[in-house]
Amino acid sequence: MIGEAEAVRLAKQLAEEKGWGWLDPPYATLRRRWFKPGGRWEILSNAAGMGPKVRVILDAQSGQV
């Protein structure tokens, strides 16, 4: 299972590859499954500001988008 720092790094890397504007600070939330291990990370850039944001959802086990 990937941690918060790794999830944010992967989301930022994806945003840069796609040419999306990434602004700090990011906000990451782990949404766990009720009856199975794992879950998903929801990462939002520019969490403290107005304006454009990038939202990426990653599988918490594999890190896949």
In order, the DSSP letters of 1-65 are: ---HHHHHHHHHHHHHHHT----SPPEEEEEE-SSSS-EEEEEESSTTSSS---EEEEETTT---
pLDDT for the residue 50: 87
Segment 12-65, tens digit of pLDDT:
999 999 999 999 999 999 999 888 888 999 999 998 888 889 999 999 998 888
pLDDT for the residue 60: 93
pLDDT for the residue 39: 93
pLDDT for the residue 42: 97
pLDDT for the residue 46: 93
